[in-house]
A and B are shown apart, each in its own frame.
Chain A
Amino acid sequence: MLKLIISHETRQVMRTGALWSILTLLVGAIIFASWSGGRSIERQTKGAAAAVAFEDGLRNHLRKDTEKYAAEVEAAGGEYKFASVRHSPGSGPPQGTNAGAVGAETSKYVTLPPTGLAALSVGQSDIQLNYLPISLATTLDVTKNLELENPINLSTGSFDIAFVVIFLLPIFILAMSYDLLSSEKERGTLAMILAHPISIRELMASKIISRAVVMLAVVLGFGLIALITVGTGLDTADTWIRFALWILATLLYLGFWFALAVLVNVYGKNSASNGTVLAGIWLILVVITPQLVSMLATTIYPTPSRMELTIAAREAQTEAEKNFMSKLDEYYYDHLEFVPEGDAKAMDFLTLAQANNNSIEKAVRPLYDNFQNQLNKQEALVQRFQYLSPAIMMQLALNEVSGTSADRYEHFLNQVYVFHVEWKEYFSTKFLQRYPLKPADYDNFPEFHYQEQSLGLVIARLVPSLIGMLILFLGVILVPFLALRNYQVASR
């Protein structure tokens, strides 16, 4: 009997114009979202490639000079020498032999590769810069650059699949199921249907299942198509496990909204008032609660002011500089290229510059650590308050699955900091030893290999959001099914 009703409902739903227009809109939104998400990730990847190519090009240029120089030394005989720091064209050994110059004047861009699903949820990846310059400069110089996206677009947010799932799908679900029982009741057909051997629970279930199946087929089908067209790394297990998690989260989230529609149908009055209530709930859960939680988090743990931090860091820097450079020349420290040829003291400036950088870094480190600490507290608060809204849970979950979350970025940053130290040590040691870099040394510069977060960790971070959504779903679905037996079939 249930099967019959479901097939009847499905056929009925499929024949209504409203459903087709909703599905058309949905499919259109998914296609548009995959296209724009794909473009966003492509832009980042191209930007990273351009930055890497440019800096590698500079280094390659220096290497070519050393090759030429090596050939000259080979031909003329004599010693392969270390060059003093010089910017303007000059004679003698080329700059490429000086590890200090190579390390200070060129950067090594290290990249956070997008996961296979990055295009599905742009998340924070349009704010974070996914490729950072490593050089002899301070840690702060590594992280100071920002991606160039238009602030208007950043504040509007991306039209990605995550937006379609979190914002639009609930609207579509509510639009196709706000009047499940009420419309039959208003038309007077409800009493007639229930005269057949079917319980109201079965009727409700079949109505919901038929709609949910149609919707899920579309979402999952087109989600898969989106992944295949704009996803990357389709040959890796990582991508498919992430996609499975994506499906799981989406199922729970959609389940919640269908359950909510049932709940309102059971307790609601007429179709119009059901619609009002559901639209109101959507607004509260998807728009207002996240904004409130965000406001709460920034009120309880106010983000420390970057302005104050900047001033404090500068104060510390000035002190460090004053102490360090008091007897030494700050002027040439800025302009090594203007140190006169053959000036004995001159060579020391790069040494000084490095030592000075180190002392600045030591002085400002505690300030930045303190800053980060406050941010972590804020983040922890948000994690706790996410249960107030399925939209927050879903957004955090999708960012996590797609690898566009804040914690994956931090995971990347921590590796970058380690690599930065390694890079600095490599070049400053060679420089301090006055070791002349040879062409072959260019092949042995430190390399950065990003270690991906283990999937176990990703899943562990996902679990709270998923469980939260599951509980919410079960809670919402259970109430109406227990209450349905008291449903008033005919209007009084």
Chain B
Amino acid sequence: MIISIARKEFAEIVRDGRFKWTAAIMVLLLLTAMMAGYQKYTTAVRIQHAAQAGTNQQWLDQGDKNPHSAAHYGNYAFKPAGPLSYFDNGISNYTGTAVFMEAHKQNFAIGRPASDQSAIARFGDLSGANILQLLLPLLIIFLGFTSFSGERESGTLRQVLSMGVTNRQLLWGKALGVGSAVLIVVLPCILVGALALSMAQSVDHAEDMVTRVMTLSIAYLMYAGIFLFLTLAVSALTRHARTTLMVLVGFWAFTGFLMPKTASEISKFIEPTPAFGKWMADMRAHQLRGFDGVPPFAKFARYTKELFKEYGVSSVGELPMYFVAVRLQKLEEYDYPVFDQHYGMIREAYTSQRKVQDQLGILAPTLPLRSISMAISGTDLIQHVKFMTDAETYRRNMVVKMNDYLSRASVHLNTTYSSSNYMRADEEVFAIVPPFEFEPPNLNTMLTEHRSNFILLFLWLAASIGLAVFAANRISLERN
């Protein structure tokens, strides 16, 4: 019985002109988005590889100079595109792509693509993820909103019920029918996407790619399921097809457009993002007065005394290491806790904003799905934070290595301290700093981090199925 209901529903939808139009538009958009995304992705991968190799070479070829000057010359970390960024570009347009790593300063990532695009880029990317998050639900609504209320209006619902079909059979039959109509639109696109994927040179992530795609597919299927059952539920609960449509489109606009922005504003209210000027002033002031209130130079004077005592010397000239290099490194280290605190503050603000927004997913299923999708595509905040952390670790290590070398190699200069007297190092010395490599957070970490989002999505699905069953059970011959 379920099968024949499904077959009837499916045939009815597929023969409808509405279906042909929406399906054609949807397929066209999905393919365009995938293709454009794929093209952008391959370009991005190529450029990133070339740029990182280029900067690594520039570091070696910077010309003979003092090791500490080399640390000033510094190096760049270029952010690789996420493994599935051509499907979901996530927040990549709004995070910097290059971090300058130099002595004395921790830097933010620069080169935010959105800053180099027109204002209309703010309307969002036409990506596979965007289409599935926004258009797919509308497609489901369009295909399914008349399933009960339409039949009720035309009087066929009474007939079907009088034939002894149970309410459950009716519901599952219709779900199956509408669901398969949706699938025949989406499946070809997913296949094309998978094909593009197998062609993509994302070798770095090859081993967990299958898991990623599977997890993504499950998340999007759950999302589609939520809208499918909500559509059937509302259709069963409302008397007129036009009311069904208004309620569903209203909900769609609420979850897809209104809630993301509302959640963002609410999270900013609960945990304000510091303004650059205020943040910068606070951090610089903190640097000047010293992390614990002792200014760096005073702290270093104290350290010098200890150092002299430790080595039992009374002048710089007797020290077994190059004093200037020691000073450089110490002053560098005094800044670590200040950087950790102030940069950490921003990171924490971002993270708790993200969590607030995820929690608001209880009101809108698009929110948890969006987070999951970005995370698995490797284009979300967690990914970016990890990149920034890796860059800072690299920077500190680079500076330590250079100062250390200077400290050991220039001991003899302690006594002849003048501006014409300094050591020069060459490529061989610079080579002790290994090239920068970004280690993306692994998939398990991401999945654990987003467990609550999966739970939310599951709850939404369970609730919508529950509502659909409840609504279908209410249908009775007497009331129609």
B148 within 8 A of A: no
- Interface segment among A153-161, A224-232, A478-486: the answer is A153-161
Q: Name A272's contact: one of B68, B242, B260 (CB within 8 Å).
A: B242
A426 within 8 A of B: no
Question: Which residue of chain B has its CB nearest to the CB of A55?
Answer: B281
How many residue pairs link A and B with beta carbons under 8 A? The number is 296
Q: Which chain B residues border A379 with CB–CB below 8 Å?
A: 118
In the assembled complex, 13 residue pairs joining A and B whose CB atoms fall closer than 8 Å, in A order, are: A47-B275, A152-B353, A152-B354, A155-B90, A157-B264, A158-B265, A159-B262, A272-B145, A279-B249, A287-B123, A291-B123, A307-B98, A395-B119
A127 within 8 A of B: yes
A152 lies within 8 A of B284 (CB): no
Q: Name A153's contact: one of B126, B250, B264, B422 (CB within 8 Å).
A: B264
A109 lies within 8 A of B277 (CB): yes
A318 within 8 A of B: yes
Q: Which chain A residues border B195 with CB–CB below 8 Å?
A: none
Distance between Cα atoms of A151 and B418 in the complex (Å): 48
- Number of B residues whose C-beta is below 8 Å from A? 109
- Interface segment among A7-15, A200-208, A237-245, A338-346: the answer is A338-346
B262 lies within 8 A of A294 (CB): no
B108 within 8 A of A: yes
Q: Which chain B residues border A280 with CB–CB below 8 Å?
A: 22, 138, 142
Q: Spell out B's residues near A (CB within 8 Å).
A: 18, 22, 29, 32, 36, 43, 47-48, 50-51, 54-55, 58, 61-63, 65-66, 68-69, 72-73, 76, 78, 90-91, 93-98, 103, 108, 110-126, 130, 134-135, 138, 142, 145-146, 150, 240-242, 244-246, 249-250, 253, 257-258, 260-265, 267-269, 272-282, 284-285, 297, 324, 327-328, 346, 349-350, 353-354, 357, 381, 384, 417-420, 422
Distance in Å from the Cβ of A242 to the closest Cβ of chain B?
Answer: 17
9 tightest A-B CB contacts, nearest first: A47-B275, A51-B277, A306-B111, A47-B277, A54-B281, A290-B123, A151-B94, A291-B126, A271-B242
Interface residues of A in 138-163 (CB under 8 A from B): 144-159, 163
- Number of A residues whose C-beta is below 8 Å from B? 108
Distance in Å from the Cβ of A222 to the closest Cβ of chain B?
Answer: 17
Q: Which chain B residues border A167 with CB–CB below 8 Å?
A: 257
Beyond known contacts A159-B262, A338-B324: 8 more, CB 8 A cutoff? A46-B275, A50-B280, A54-B280, A146-B276, A147-B275, A303-B113, A311-B58, A391-B123
Q: A47-B275, A150-B349, A339-B419 are in contact. Are A144 and B110 (CB under 8 A)?
A: yes
Distance between Cα atoms of A335 and B112 in the complex (Å): 31
Contact mask for chain A residues 78-101; partner B; CB cutoff 8 A; 1 contact, 0 none = 000000000011000000000000
Question: Which residue of chain B has its CB nearest to the CB of A47?
Answer: B275
A50 lies within 8 A of B281 (CB): yes
Q: Which chain B residues border A290 with CB–CB below 8 Å?
A: 120, 123-124
B119 lies within 8 A of A279 (CB): no
Distance in Å from the Cβ of B129 to the closest Cβ of chain A?
Answer: 12
Contact mask for chain A residues 40-62; partner B; CB cutoff 8 A; 1 contact, 0 none = 00011011111111100000000
B145 lies within 8 A of A158 (CB): no
Question: Which residue of chain A has its CB nearest to the CB of B374?
Answer: A152
Distance between Cα atoms of A392 and B124 in the complex (Å): 12
A292 within 8 A of B: yes
Distance between Cα atoms of A51 and B277 in the complex (Å): 4
B281 lies within 8 A of A330 (CB): no
Question: Which residue of chain B has its CB nearest to the CB of A396?
Answer: B119
A2 within 8 A of B: no
Q: Which chain B residues border A279 with CB–CB below 8 Å?
A: 138, 245, 249
B112 lies within 8 A of A146 (CB): yes
Give the one of A175, A298, A340 with max B CB within 10 A: A298
B245 lies within 8 A of A275 (CB): yes
Distance between Cα atoms of A318 and B60 in the complex (Å): 12
Question: Which residue of chain B has its CB nearest to the CB of A406?
Answer: B119
A153 lies within 8 A of B120 (CB): no
A152 lies within 8 A of B350 (CB): yes
Q: Which chain B residues border A392 with CB–CB below 8 Å?
A: 120, 123
